């Protein structure tokens, strides 16, 4: 039982003994740094029970706790706030018992909940941009956090590899590509395909403009433009399985996959399974029949199937076209059912931007109405858009920040900064470039993940991402100092590692040391909270706080230079623990920490 649970339990006892009150739960908070103490109980809520002044109530509870809990060294009362001072002995004992494991990926019990995390879900007509980067980093990190919190996690990707937008780049390449390939163009496959997607749009817009000069309405021009007609025909051929179209489709998608693989590899994300919409888009018919049989869905005169959600404050939603073909939501219904049948998940997390809030609301509601109990386990991890100073990114208007370019720039900046500081000249070129990658990508990942996923975030390309302050390089820097110090200590005298801290006098514990131990004490709770809220930002901000505390400690406190071995060894052990925790928490964000920098 940890100290918070003990406090809660004894406080409930205190209220019963002192005032005869039955209370189910009380909550403590960390004492405000301006006051003496570790935990604070706000007693205003108990005045009805005590029928006494706040100060008296607080004092009486304080006295009860002090005499019934050996961990409490002292207490003080300020107005209605009861500040409890936990004894140094408790913190030191806790630290001694803390056998911090090397990483959080402990064996997961066989009966652990199965959680599927879907993320990335790219279109195969253009390269990934900053918006996708946020999606990928979030999905990957949330999956890792869920693992650390004791879940069986399956990372999954749903690739949008078909549809009219895919045909656009295909047609453009066919018309104007002259057989260009990624090799001949010396270009990543996804970028090459993206080039033709943009090219299509350019020609298409020209056609539309031309038709408008011939007195077509804008709407008509968009529909009648020759390229639009060709595209529709191509899509139809694709659906009919036309050999030539399919071959072109497979070739160009192949290019894109090769490109994506590279991007994923450098980004450091991965998947346990991948679904392709070209396979899943026909799914869902089963569900349609089921819904019709249950009377949840209805049929219109033209044979299209829909559900009336107006009683739920939503609209009518079409689920199947009149010609019997699937729409987006049909496929999602089918894919959800298929996944449930295949992996029997307890939870399925969809990492998708908040522009699709309505879609997922409808999707979950429909599954619920169909009586699928498992639909309660579905969750839309809805994240905010990444905006540029001039607004939202738009692929077609070219106002996107390309993922590959951005990562390259980050690595280049990291390289320049590292060279300038010149602290790692003993590394080989290979080691150096690996280090630049770790620092540059770490900075980018941290920059994105430290923001609450639910909120939109702003990225200003003109201002480069910081390497100082609340950043990954700062956190890494503290880790590296610890590593360096420990290496020195060990090469001088390795015995410290085997020395327990049992002889260390609690009276020597510095306030900062107590704070650091208290911080380590709350790591597990933070991980659980981050898992419950699907929020890597909580991990990021906690890790920064820890690193900052440590940085101050490191600055103010002699460690290697401490003369008394007992104290020196304790400080080394404390530093080592902080280092391990930093490493583990950063890994949950998908960030690697270097040994030198």
21-50 residues in contact with RNA (CB under 7 A) are 31-32, 34-35, 37, 40, 42, 44-45
Helices (H), 493-522: 511-521
Residues within window 446-465 making contact with RNA, judged by CB under 7 A: 450-452, 454-458, 460
Distance of closest approach, residue 504 Cβ to RNA, in angstroms: 17
Name which position in 397, 488, 503, 508 contacts RNA (CB under 7 A): 488
Q: 443 near 167, Cβ under 8 Å?
A: no
164 touches RNA (CB under 7 A): yes
CB atoms within 10 A of CB 330: 22
Tell me whether residue 479 or residue 504 sits nearer to RNA (CB atom): 479
Tell me whether residue 79 or residue 376 sits nearer to RNA (CB atom): 79
Please give the Cα distance from 206 to 199 (Å, whole number): 11
Distance of closest approach, residue 178 Cβ to RNA, in angstroms: 29
Tell me whether residue 239 or residue 342 sits nearer to RNA (CB atom): 239
Give the x/- contact pattern for RNA in 175-214, rule: CB under 7 A: ----------------------------------------
Distance of closest approach, residue 339 Cβ to RNA, in angstroms: 17
* The two structure tokens encoding residue 126: 């253009």
Distance of closest approach, residue 565 Cβ to RNA, in angstroms: 14
559 touches RNA (CB under 7 A): yes
**Residues shown for the chain:** 597
Tell me the DSSP string of 112-137.
Answer: SPEEEEE----BTTS--BHHHHHHHH
Report the sign of the C-alpha dihedral through residues 7, 12, 17, 19, in that order.
positive
Strands (E), 234-334: 273-276, 298-299, 305-308, 316-320
Cβ neighbours of residue 186 closer than 8 Å, sequence gap 6 or more: none
Name which position in 96, 417, 522, 528 contacts RNA (CB under 7 A): 417
Distance of closest approach, residue 383 Cβ to RNA, in angstroms: 10
Name which position in 16, 294, 564, 596 contacts RNA (CB under 7 A): 596
The region of 263-271, 339-347, 395-403, 551-559 touching RNA under the rule CB under 7 A is 551-559
Q: 572 near 486, Cβ under 8 Å?
A: yes
Residues within window 349-388 making contact with RNA, judged by CB under 7 A: 354-359, 384-385
Distance of closest approach, residue 34 Cβ to RNA, in angstroms: 5
Residues within window 422-451 making contact with RNA, judged by CB under 7 A: 423, 439, 450-451
Cβ neighbours of residue 488 closer than 8 Å, sequence gap 6 or more: 560
If phi > 0 it is left, if psi is from -120 to 50 it is alpha, else beta; for residue 316 that is: beta
333: closest CA among 298, 300, 295, 359?
Answer: 359
Q: What is the DSSP letter of 163?
A: S
Q: Give the count of residues interacting with RNA (CB under 7 A).
A: 89
The region of 140-148, 159-167, 169-177, 490-498 touching RNA under the rule CB under 7 A is 159-167
Q: 62 near 84, Cβ under 8 Å?
A: yes
Give the x/- contact pattern for RNA in 90-129, rule: CB under 7 A: ---------------------------------x------
Q: Kindly list the distances between the CA atom of residue 327 and the CA atoms of 93, 97, 279, 283, in Å, as whole numbers in the listed order.
A: 61, 57, 14, 10
Tell me whether residue 183 or residue 357 sits nearer to RNA (CB atom): 357
Distance of closest approach, residue 360 Cβ to RNA, in angstroms: 10
Q: What is the DSSP letter of 390?
A: T
Residues within window 234-253 making contact with RNA, judged by CB under 7 A: none
Please give the Cα distance from 129 to 132 (Å, whole number): 5
560 touches RNA (CB under 7 A): yes
Please give the Cα distance from 190 to 187 (Å, whole number): 8
Residues within window 283-312 making contact with RNA, judged by CB under 7 A: 300, 302, 304
Distance of closest approach, residue 212 Cβ to RNA, in angstroms: 20
Distance of closest approach, residue 44 Cβ to RNA, in angstroms: 3
Report the sign of the C-alpha dihedral through residues 343, 344, 348, 350, in that order.
positive
* The two structure tokens encoding residue 251: 């070739």
The region of 110-118, 142-150, 200-208, 467-475 touching RNA under the rule CB under 7 A is 467-475
Give the x/- contact pattern for RNA in 136-155, rule: CB under 7 A: --------------------
512 touches RNA (CB under 7 A): no
39: closest CA among 14, 71, 13, 16?
Answer: 71
Tell me whether residue 136 or residue 471 sits nearer to RNA (CB atom): 471
Tell me whether residue 22 or residue 302 sits nearer to RNA (CB atom): 302
Tell me whether residue 450 or residue 514 sits nearer to RNA (CB atom): 450
Q: 424 near 597, Cβ under 8 Å?
A: yes
Tell me whether residue 153 or residue 171 sits nearer to RNA (CB atom): 171
339: closest CA among 162, 158, 163, 161?
Answer: 158
CB atoms within 10 A of CB 415: 17
Give the x/- contact pattern for RNA in 385-404, rule: CB under 7 A: x-----xx------------
Give the x/- contact pattern for RNA in 521-540, rule: CB under 7 A: ----------------xx--
The region of 73-81, 101-109, 128-136, 182-190 touching RNA under the rule CB under 7 A is 73-81
520: closest CA among 563, 453, 579, 434?
Answer: 579
322 touches RNA (CB under 7 A): yes
Please give the Cα distance from 374 to 342 (Å, whole number): 13
């Amino acid at each position: 039982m940890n100290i918070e649970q003990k406090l809660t339990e004894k406080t409930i006892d205190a209220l019963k003994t002192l005032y005869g009150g039955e209370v189910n739960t009380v909550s403590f908070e960390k004492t405000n740094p301006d006051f003496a103490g570790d935990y604070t109980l706000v007693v205003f809520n108990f005045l009805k029970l005590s029928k006494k002044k706040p100060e008296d109530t607080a004092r009486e509870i304080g006295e009860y706790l002090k005499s019934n809990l050996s961990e409490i060294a002292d207490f003080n009362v300020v107005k209605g706030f009861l500040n409890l001072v936990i004894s140094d002995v408790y913190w030191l004992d806790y630290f001694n018992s803390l056998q911090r494991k090397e990483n959080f990926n402990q064996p997961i019990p066989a009966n652990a909940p199965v959680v599927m995390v879907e993320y990335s879900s790219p279109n195969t007509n253009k390269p990934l941009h900053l918006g996708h980067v946020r999606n990928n980093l979030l999905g990957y990190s949330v999956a890792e956090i869920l693992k650390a919190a004791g879940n069986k996690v399956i990372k999954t990707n749903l690739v949008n590899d078909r549809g009219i937008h895919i045909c656009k780049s295909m047609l453009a390449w066919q018309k104007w590509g002259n057989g260009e390939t990624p090799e001949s163009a010396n270009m990543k496959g996804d970028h090459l395909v993206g080039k033709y997607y943009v090219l299509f749009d350019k020609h298409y817009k020209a056609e539309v403009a031309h038709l408008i000069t011939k007195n077509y309405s804008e709407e008509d021009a968009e529909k009648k433009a020759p390229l639009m007609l060709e595209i529709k025909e191509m899509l139809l051929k694709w659906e009919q399985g036309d050999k030539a179209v399919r071959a072109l489709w497979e070739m160009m998608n192949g290019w894109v996959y090769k490109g994506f693989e590279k991007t994923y590899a450098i980004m450091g994300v991965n998947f346990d399974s991948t679904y392709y919409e070209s396979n899943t888009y026909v799914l869902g018919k089963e569900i349609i029949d089921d819904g019709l049989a249950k009377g949840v869905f209805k049929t219109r005169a033209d044979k299209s199937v829909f559900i009336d959600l107006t009683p739920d404050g939503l609209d009518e939603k079409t689920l199947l076209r009149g010609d019997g073909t699937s729409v987006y939501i049909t496929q999602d219904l089918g894919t959800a059912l298929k996944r449930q049948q295949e992996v029997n998940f307890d939870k399925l997390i969809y990492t998708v931007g908040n522009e699709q809030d309505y879609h997922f609301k409808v999707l979950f509601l429909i599954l619920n109405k169909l009586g699928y109990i498992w639909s309660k386990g579905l969750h839309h991890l809805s994240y905010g858009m990444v905006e540029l100073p001039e607004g939202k990114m738009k692929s077609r208007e070219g106002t996107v920040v390309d993922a590959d370019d951005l990562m390259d720039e980050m690595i280049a900046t990291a390289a320049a900064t590292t060279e300038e500081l010149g602290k790692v000249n003993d590394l080989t070129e290979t080691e150096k470039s690996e280090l630049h990658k770790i620092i540059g990508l770490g900075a980018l990942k941290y920059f994105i993940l430290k923001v609450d996923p639910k909120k939109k975030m702003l990225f200003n390309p003109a201002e480069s991402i910081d390497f100082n302050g609340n950043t990954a390089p700062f956190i890494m820097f503290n880790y590296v100092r610890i590593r360096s110090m420990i290496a020195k200590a060990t090469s001088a005298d390795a015995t410290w590692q085997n020395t327990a801290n049992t002889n260390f006098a609690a009276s020597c514990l510095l306030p900062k040391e107590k704070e650091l131990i208290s911080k380590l004490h709350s790591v597990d709770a933070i991980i659980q909270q981050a898992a419950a809220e699907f929020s890597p930002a909580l991990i990021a901000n906690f890790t920064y706080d820890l690193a900052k505390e440590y940085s101050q400690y490191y600055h103010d406190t002699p460690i290697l230079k401490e003369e008394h071995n007992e104290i020196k060894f304790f400080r080394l052990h404390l530093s080592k623990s902080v280092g391990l925790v930093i490493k583990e928490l950063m890994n949950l964000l998908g960030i690697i920490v270097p040994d030198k920098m």
